[in-house]
Structure 1
């Protein structure tokens, strides 16, 4: 067992812990933006988990136009730290130009993945238990409705079958294919 023996588990833990916390901050931001029920137990959990870091940043960075700028700044800072740590674990010195390109790419990727997963889960739940009340279901509805609503307005009525989640999933995949590859091609050249 050489010095690299702990590299993969350590990188996995750093990536997982930072990704989970960044996702919690992102979900809180998105649920605030979509005006989800603040008293929902899942929303309350996200508030409690993210409040200490956001409370500190909100003293320095106010909201602007109803947008929680402190949450965006926190996501950016956390993502930059995570990338820097992962690069250091891999034996690569982090460079600021690489971090400035890689951070938005990672956050955009996470945002699109959150919506893709949420829409798929919402569609499955609508088939499995369409009338059951569940706090998770209401959070999913609040989170995904702003993305699905424009497609529902465009698509014709299909006799009770809502194809708007499918259209939203296709659109999100196309956005991923158009936005992320250019950033992925630029960023590795800056890592050296």
Structure 2
């Protein structure tokens, strides 16, 4: 019975934690892409993240246009997920510094997964609804531009076909595998690794 409650607790903490981490990383991407903050989805993300993000911004300023407070908040959320879940599954008190490094790797992996899945969704809808003006799709295109734009400059479209997403997919996959290698090198435990999102393939 105790294990059942422990598993339920870990599930709730992990689910709520990763959903909030998703929102915080979206907030970071919104700032990075200079996306439309009047988009209804953007407004939802802002409302969810403001209670914790605004106090952090008072002590953590932006750097070169990068929203450092969002990154710190994401790191703290990931760190708390690892610490709390570690206690709940019975591994004891996790080394705080080690957990901070694992949280950094987990946040980077989750960010890569968000971009990867976002690109898949964008490509699918570009085929089935190329003229769609849905707020979610408009926002998605804006969020992906910081990743797609630099690659397009190096690899221009072949006629009507934009092949730059292929290379972005390759780069993201390589980055994800490198993160996995680093996680193994620093002995990131399986429970901590599995708390975060990863490329689904």
CA contact (8 A) 2:119 2:144 kept: yes
Aligned residue number for residue 68 of structure 1: 67
1:82-141 Cα shifts (integer Å, max 9, x gaps): 100110011112112321321111011101001001111111110010011011111111
Aligned residue number for residue 41 of structure 2: 42
Aligned residue number for residue 178 of structure 2: 178
Runs of 4+ in 1 over 3 A off after TM superposition: none
Alpha-carbon distance in structure 2 between the residues aligned to 1:97 and 1:72: 17
Alpha-carbon distance in structure 2 between the residues aligned to 1:100 and 1:45: 28
Alpha-carbon distance in structure 2 between the residues aligned to 1:61 and 1:151: 31
Alpha-carbon distance in structure 2 between the residues aligned to 1:21 and 1:29: 12
Pairing of 1:1-192 with structure 2 (within 5 A): 2-92=1-91, 93-188=93-188
Indicate the structure with greater helix content: 1
| Structure 2 counterpart SS, 1:187 | coil
1:119-174 Cα shifts (integer Å, max 9, x gaps): 11111110010011011111111111111122222225323111111221111001
Instruction: Normalising by structure 2, report the TM-score.
Output: 0.88
Structure 2 residue runs of 5 or longer lacking an equivalent are 192-201
CA contact (8 A) 2:75 2:100 kept: no
CA contact (8 A) 1:18 1:82 kept: yes
Alpha-carbon distance in structure 2 between the residues aligned to 1:17 and 1:164: 34
The total of aligned residue pairs comes to 189
Query: How far apart are residue 6 of structure 1 and its match?
Result: 1.6
Instruction: Normalising by structure 1, report the TM-score.
Output: 0.92
Structure 1 residue runs of 5 or longer lacking an equivalent are none
Cα distance change, pair 52–163 in 1 and its aligned pair in 2 (3 A): same
CA contact (8 A) 2:157 2:164 kept: no
Query: How far apart are residue 18 of structure 1 and its match?
Result: 0.7
Cα root mean square deviation, aligned: 1.7
